[in-house]
């Protein structure tokens, strides 16, 4: 990944639909030639953001820059930004070949037929669909449609491709294969992918960098590792779906919650006091254990879920809050737990992340 | 259960109802095979013959019954219906396309267009001829004033058909086209239009048949030269002969031929529509 | 909204709508305004001038024939409307609700629509050999032995006009009602039946209220067409039945534009009242 000038930049972009503010003054820039995942829960404005960048919708205020040019007032077809739709949006009346050739044939600049054939073939080859050129869109599978949509976009050699939940319509197996493929394809070309998704796994697995969108604002933009390890606010931690979050009060360098009091070393600014500990940093002990690494949270065991490389154990606290423990199988055999039994959960307080109203420490 | 009795009774009723709808035309068809030229437009059938069909095409020896003055009228009606069809469909597609975006005054514009099919033909006809005759001071012709009134009448139908079609149209294929650098106009030509073509065909069929059969507006708004419905109406006041019945059967057959052409064209584009539907299912 | 893109969108909308809107204003709204205006013009024997006067209006209300035509129009409209409803509703009930198979329902609806591909005037004319003194109905009735002498009042009477109009327009009543009935959730009816409600009760409490918007739309269709009629009455009554439409045709035929316009305005007002009245019964925008 080469870090360079932003390929595109948003300045104070706001988009409202009636009383609803979908985008709330977004400032954002993305590096050239990189894979950026845009993560947000549904209703966070992520699709609006993509549509505004593509030019399908105009922002109410703010400017959009692309390759050093202000494109805010440019219509979509003059922007040169690719777009891949969740529902693929293939042209149903054209063959795969003609779908991919569409932009070259009907664009503003005339491309010679021979060049069209070459570029379309190369593009179809790249996404691994050689041999299907003469099929119609209704004769291929969902995964193949997604590749056609990608090839159709990439054949125009855009510098930026926007992908709107591109894997959302595919089944789980296919989704994983397409994840790696999307990354490989992008690395072979000089292009930036802006990939919108509602799945934190997808975002963390795919993006060179991940932007987290919440309520129309970008709250964190960083590498996946950084976001995983250091969510900037408790909402991000919640949305990552990898943290047990506890409410409580932060006072005099310690956090008081359901687990008693825990010492706190550093605090992140937040609009409420929240204590977060990752699922895979939470450990299980018997009620009479005496070698706890930190605070003690009494829980009742509910169920477990096998995920292949790890097991998720589900517990319930006294106030009926569900707590999860992620046990990675490379760390050894999991404990044998009996449903309905009481246990104690504990962790190393140094690994917890604490958000507080009074960040000053 | 009461509906157990009700259902068969209603089934019989619907049978009678359909007989009520078709009865007159069946009687008319039978009488069109009346013997000629002496046989009149009533029962009993003196002898079965195709005399009146031959009479229609001028294949019978001259008799006291004049042939129907329909030749030129037919050509005029076809021309007028074609002109109306093209204009109404173009206007309908354009207006419906505009209605895909929300805009201020949409309600007023909608009602203004739909008014064209709600106002009775006598009124549009009277108004148009008043305007032409007493204000602008031009002569009325089937190809001028009547054409204007026909479009007023058929444009709303084309508009509503296209509105229904475009309502179900998934706009993401158009956005996909724009994002490939294709201008909105080319996009409409290469993507939107081919995909809504079945709807356009229906709009055209509507406009053509309505115009071809249009009578009240034409009566007022066309001048001396008669269209087909006017020619038929003209025969009402004089004595009726079975030739007009034979003519009725012929025009009905012609309508069905038109319907068949529509069916074939529709069949050809339905494959396309199916593809579109399948793609929508996935989405 | 970005000013440039917003402006461009507005321009596109405007360009797409302008031709149709201009057409409708020039050739629909202006002509109707014109009718109102000309109804106050001065009519001489063969000419008309734009000096404003109430003469034509006075003449209309002074003439028994004209006012009579107004009442005939209203009477015939009410009769035909009632008949199309009474005859059409059971058919719609069967097609829209009772037929289980969608295919059968579609076939029946198509069967109802096919006659429309026969010219309107031919359909009117087809009633003549049906209703005449030596027409099909009289022959059948005589054969069956129900009557000895043919019924003459069948043709060239108000009755023949009513029969003709009912047959031609009843489908416009059936269509919307069948459409609304088809949209009723069958589970509601099943649930009512499980609770022990008989068909009569289910019909009046559930089916009929839910089909009411269809009845209103059908009634508006039928009303607009019947009130503006003149061809059916002309062809089947032998000029015995004069509707407002017939008066307009005769007046224009003798170049009495002002009187034709007065009748036109009265017809417009009548239509306006009727349609507005129906729209008060059901809020169509909410229902559809």
In a domain, C25, yes or no: no
Name the minimum distance, in Å, from the CA of C135 to any CA of chain B: 6
C26-83 pLDDT, tens digit each: 999 999 999 999 999 988 877 888 888 898 999 999 999 999 999 999 999 999 999 9
Residue of A nearest to B169 (CA): A89
How many whole angstroms separate alpha carbon A148 and alpha carbon A84?
10
Whether B252 sits inside 8 A of C119 (CB atoms) is yes
Q: Which residue has tokens 């039946």?
A: C193
CB A64 within 8 A of CB A53: yes
A115-141 pLDDT, tens digit each: 999 999 999 998 889 999 999 998 898
Name the minimum distance, in Å, from the CA of C5 to any CA of chain A: 6
B281 pLDDT band, cuts 50/70/90, is: very low
Greater model confidence, B131 or A335: B131
CB A148 within 8 A of CB A140: yes
Handedness of CA B84, B85, B86, B88 (dihedral sign): positive
pLDDT value of residue B275: 55
Reported pTM:
0.83
Q: Which residue has tokens 């292949």?
A: A308
The pair of structure tokens assigned to C28 is: 């629909």
pLDDT value of residue A101: 94
Residues of C in contact with A71 (CB under 8 A): none
Which of the listed ranges A85-99, A217-231, B264-278 does the model predict with the highest average pLDDT?
Answer: A85-99
Q: Does B16 touch chain C (CB under 8 A)?
A: no
Residues of C in contact with B227 (CB under 8 A): none
In this structure, what CATH number is given to the domain that contains residue C187? 1.10.3720.10
Name the minimum distance, in Å, from the CA of A80 to any CA of chain B: 6
pLDDT value of residue A170: 80
In a domain, C266, yes or no: yes
Length of chain C: 288
In a domain, C31, yes or no: no
For B71-238, CATH number out of 3.30.360.10, 3.90.1010.10, 1.10.3720.10, 3.10.180.10 equals 1.10.3720.10
In a domain, C5, yes or no: no
In a domain, C55, yes or no: no
Name the minimum distance, in Å, from the CA of A73 to any CA of chain C: 6
Whether B7 sits inside 8 A of C94 (CB atoms) is yes
Name the minimum distance, in Å, from the CA of C283 to any CA of chain B: 15
Q: Does C6 touch chain A (CB under 8 A)?
A: yes
Residue of C nearest to B246 (CA): C122
For all residues of chain C together, what is the average pLDDT?
88
C179-191 pLDDT, tens digit each: 999 888 888 888 8
Of B172, B186, B195, the CB nearest to A85: B172
Of C235, C245, C275, the CB nearest to B122: C245
Domains with residue ranges and CATH for chain A: 6-234 (3.40.50.300), 235-356 (2.40.50.140)
Across the range B54-66, mean pLDDT stands at: 80
pLDDT value of residue C286: 62
The pair of structure tokens assigned to B153 is: 């009448």
Please determine, for residue B2, whether its predicted confidence score (pLDDT) is greater than 60. no
Residues of B in contact with A107 (CB under 8 A): 180-182
Q: Any idea where the domains of chain B sit in the sequence? A: 2-56, 71-238
**What domain range is C248 assigned to?**
64-287
pLDDT value of residue C11: 87
Please determine, for residue C140, whether its predicted confidence score (pLDDT) is greater than 60. yes
pLDDT value of residue B272: 59
Please determine, for residue A4, whether its predicted confidence score (pLDDT) is greater than 60. no
pLDDT value of residue B90: 96
User: Which B residues in the span 70-99 are in contact with C, Cβ-Cβ below 8 Å?
Assistant: 91-92, 94-95, 97-98
Residue of C nearest to A59 (CA): C1
How many whole angstroms separate alpha carbon A244 and alpha carbon A240?
11
Residues of C in contact with B213 (CB under 8 A): 119-120
How many whole angstroms separate alpha carbon A211 and alpha carbon A203?
9
Greater model confidence, B238 or B222: B222
Across the range C112-141, mean pLDDT stands at: 85
How many whole angstroms separate alpha carbon A85 and alpha carbon A102?
16
Please determine, for residue A104, whether its predicted confidence score (pLDDT) is greater than 90. yes
Please determine, for residue B280, whether its predicted confidence score (pLDDT) is greater than 50. no
Q: Does B257 touch chain C (CB under 8 A)?
A: no
CB A141 within 8 A of CB A149: no
Whether C126 sits inside 8 A of B103 (CB atoms) is no
B19 pLDDT band, cuts 50/70/90, is: very high
Residues of B in contact with A56 (CB under 8 A): 175, 178
Please determine, for residue B273, whether its predicted confidence score (pLDDT) is greater than 60. no
Q: Give partners of A (≥3 CB pairs < 8 A).
A: B, C
In a domain, C44, yes or no: no
Residues of C in contact with B28 (CB under 8 A): 122, 125-126, 129
User: Which C residues in the span 100-129 are in contact with A, Cβ-Cβ below 8 Å?
Assistant: none
Contacts for C42 with CB less than 8 Å, ≥ 6 apart: C48, C49, C50, C51, C52, C53, C55, C258
CB pairs under 8 A between A and B: 102
Residues of C in contact with A72 (CB under 8 A): 2, 4
Closest CA to A264 of A358, A360, A344, A353: A353
Q: How many other C-beta atoms can be found within 10 angstroms of the C-beta atom of residue C152?
A: 12
Q: What is the arrangement of strands in the sheet containing A267-269, beginning at the earlier edge strand?
A: A243-247, A274-278, A353-356, A267-269
Across the range A244-265, mean pLDDT stands at: 82
pLDDT value of residue C98: 86
Residues of A in contact with B282 (CB under 8 A): 87-88, 142, 145, 169
Please tell me whether residue C25 adopts helix, strand or coil conformation: helix
Of A59, A60, A75, the CB nearest to C8: A75
Whether C5 sits inside 8 A of A75 (CB atoms) is yes
Whether B3 sits inside 8 A of C98 (CB atoms) is yes
User: How do beta strands A35-39 and A192-197 pair?
Assistant: parallel
Whether A60 sits inside 8 A of C3 (CB atoms) is no
A141-194 pLDDT, tens digit each: 888 999 999 999 999 999 999 999 888 878 878 888 888 888 888 988 889 999
In a domain, C2, yes or no: no
B270 pLDDT band, cuts 50/70/90, is: low
Across the range A217-246, mean pLDDT stands at: 85
User: Which A residues in the span 40-79 are in contact with C, Cβ-Cβ below 8 Å?
Assistant: 55, 58-60, 72-73, 75
B15 pLDDT band, cuts 50/70/90, is: very high
C12 pLDDT band, cuts 50/70/90, is: confident
Residues of C in contact with A60 (CB under 8 A): 1
Picking from B130, B216, B254 by the largest number of C CB atoms within 10 A of its own CB, the best residue to mutate is B130
pLDDT value of residue C18: 94
Whether C31 sits inside 8 A of B126 (CB atoms) is yes
pLDDT value of residue C119: 84
- For chain C, the domain total comes to 1
How many whole angstroms separate alpha carbon C164 and alpha carbon C232?
7
Please determine, for residue A3, whether its predicted confidence score (pLDDT) is greater than 50. no
Greater model confidence, A148 or B62: A148
Q: Which residue has tokens 């006017």?
A: B230
Q: Give partners of C (≥3 CB pairs < 8 A).
A: A, B
Please tell me whether residue A278 adopts helix, strand or coil conformation: strand
pLDDT value of residue A348: 86
How many whole angstroms separate alpha carbon A162 and alpha carbon A280?
33
For all residues of chain B together, what is the average pLDDT?
86
Please determine, for residue A1, whether its predicted confidence score (pLDDT) is greater than 70. no
Greater model confidence, A288 or B86: B86
Across the range A298-305, mean pLDDT stands at: 88
Whether B43 sits inside 8 A of C139 (CB atoms) is yes
Name the minimum distance, in Å, from the CA of A238 to any CA of chain C: 33
Whether C125 sits inside 8 A of B248 (CB atoms) is yes
């Amino acid at each position: 990944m080469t870090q360079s000038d932003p390929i595109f930049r948003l300045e104070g972009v706001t988009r409202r639909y009636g009383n609803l503010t979908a985008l709330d003054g977004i400032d954002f820039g993305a590096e050239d030639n990189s894979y950026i995942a845009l993560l947000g829960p549904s209703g966070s404005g992520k699709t609006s953001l993509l549509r505004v960048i593509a030019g399908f919708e105009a922002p109410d205020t703010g400017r959009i820059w692309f390759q050093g040019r202000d494109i805010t007032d440019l219509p979509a077809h003059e922007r040169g930004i690719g777009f891949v739709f969740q529902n693929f949006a293939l042209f149903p009346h054209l063959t795969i070949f003609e779908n991919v050739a569409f932009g070259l044939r009907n664009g503003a600049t005339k491309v010679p037929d021979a060049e069209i054939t070459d570029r379309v073939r190369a593009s179809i080859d790249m996404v691994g669909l050689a041999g299907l050129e003469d099929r119609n869109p209704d004769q291929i599978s969902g995964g193949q449609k997604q590749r056609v949509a990608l090839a159709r976009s990439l054949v125009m050699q855009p510098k930026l491709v926007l992908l709107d939940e591109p894997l959302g319509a595919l089944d789980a197996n296919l989704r994983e294969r397409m994840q790696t493929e999307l990354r490989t394809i992008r690395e072979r070309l000089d292009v930036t992918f802006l990939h919108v998704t509602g799945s934190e796994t997808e975002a963390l697995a795919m993006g060179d960098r991940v932007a987290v969108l919440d309520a129309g604002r970008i709250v964190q933009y960083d590498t996946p590792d950084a976001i995983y390890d250091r969510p900037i606010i408790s909402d991000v931690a919640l949305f990552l779906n990898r943290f047990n979050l506890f409410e409580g009060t932060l006072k005099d360098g310690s956090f008081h919650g359901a687990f008693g009091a825990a010492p706190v070393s550093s605090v992140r600014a937040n609009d409420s006091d929240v204590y977060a500990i990752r699922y895979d940093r939470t450990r299980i002990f018997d009620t009479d254990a005496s070698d706890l690494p930190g605070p003690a949270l009494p829980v009742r065991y509910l169920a477990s879920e096998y995920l292949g490389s790890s097991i998720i154990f589900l517990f319930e606290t006294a106030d009926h809050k569900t707590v999860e423990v992620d046990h990675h199988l490379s760390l050894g055999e999991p404990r044998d737990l009996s449903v309905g039994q009481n246990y104690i959960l504990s962790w190393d307080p140094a690994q917890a992340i604490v958000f507080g109203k009074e960040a000053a420490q | 259960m009461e509906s157990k009795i009700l259902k068969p009774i209603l089934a019989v009723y619907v049978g009678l109802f359909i007989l009520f709808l078709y009865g007159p035309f069946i009687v008319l068809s039978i009488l069109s095979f009346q013997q000629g030229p002496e046989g009149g437009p009533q029962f009993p059938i003196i002898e079965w013959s195709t005399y009146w069909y031959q009479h229609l095409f001028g294949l019978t020896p001259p008799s006291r019954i004049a042939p129907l003055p329909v030749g030129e009228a037919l050509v005029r009606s076809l021309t007028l219906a074609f002109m109306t069809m093209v204009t109404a469909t173009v206007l309908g597609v354009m207006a419906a396309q505009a209605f895909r975006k929300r805009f201020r005054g949409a309600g007023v514009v909608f009602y203004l267009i739909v008014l064209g099919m709600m106002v009775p033909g006598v009124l549009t006809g009277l108004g148009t001829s008043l305007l032409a005759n007493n204000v602008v001071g031009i002569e009325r012709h089937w190809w001028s004033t009547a054409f204007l009134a026909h479009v007023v009448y058929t444009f709303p139908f084309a508009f509503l058909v296209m509105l229904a079609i475009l309502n179900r149209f998934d706009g993401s294929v158009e956005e996909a086209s724009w994002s490939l650098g294709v201008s909105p106009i080319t996009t409409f030509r290469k993507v939107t239009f081919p995909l809504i073509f079945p709807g356009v065909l229906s709009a055209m069929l509507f406009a053509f048949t309505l115009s071809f059969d249009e009578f009240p507006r034409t009566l007022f708004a066309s001048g001396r030269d008669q269209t087909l419905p006017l020619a038929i109406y003209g025969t009402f006041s004089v004595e009726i002969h079975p030739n007009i019945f034979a003519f009725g059967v012929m025009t009905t057959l012609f309508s069905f031929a038109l319907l068949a052409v529509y069916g074939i064209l529709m069949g050809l584009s339905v494959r396309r529509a199916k593809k579109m539907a399948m793609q929508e299912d996935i989405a | 909204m970005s000013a440039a893109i917003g402006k461009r969108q507005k321009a596109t909308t405007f360009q797409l709508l302008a031709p149709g809107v201009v057409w409708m204003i020039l050739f629909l709204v202006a002509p109707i305004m014109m009718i109102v205006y000309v109804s106050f013009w001065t009519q001489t024997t063969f000419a008309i001038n734009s000096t404003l006067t109430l003469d034509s209006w006075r003449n209309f209300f002074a003439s028994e024939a004209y006012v009579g035509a107004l009442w005939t129009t209203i009477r015939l409209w009410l009769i035909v409307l009632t008949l199309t409803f009474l005859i059409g509703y059971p058919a719609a009930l069967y097609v829209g609700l009772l037929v289980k198979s969608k295919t059968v329902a579609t076939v029946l609806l198509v069967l109802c629509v096919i006659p429309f591909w026969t010219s309107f005037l031919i359909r009117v004319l087809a009633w003549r050999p049906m209703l005449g003194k030596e027409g099909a109905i009289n022959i059948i009735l005589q054969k069956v032995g129900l009557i000895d002498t043919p019924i003459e009042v069948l043709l060239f009477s108000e009755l023949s006009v009513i029969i003709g109009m009912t047959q031609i327009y009843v489908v416009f009543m059936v269509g919307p009602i069948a459409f609304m009935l088809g949209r009723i959730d069958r589970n509601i009816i099943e649930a009512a039946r499980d609770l022990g409600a008989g068909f009569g009760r289910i019909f009046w409490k559930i089916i009929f209220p839910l089909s009411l918007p269809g009845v209103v739309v059908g009634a508006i269709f039928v009303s607009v067409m019947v009130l503006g009629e003149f061809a059916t009455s002309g062809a089947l009554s032998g000029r015995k039945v004069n509707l407002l439409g017939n008066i307009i045709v005769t007046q224009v035929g003798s170049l009495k534009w002002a009187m034709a316009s007065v009748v036109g305005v009265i017809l417009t007002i009548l239509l306006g009242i009727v349609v507005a009245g129906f729209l008060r019964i059901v809020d169509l925008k909410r229902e559809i």
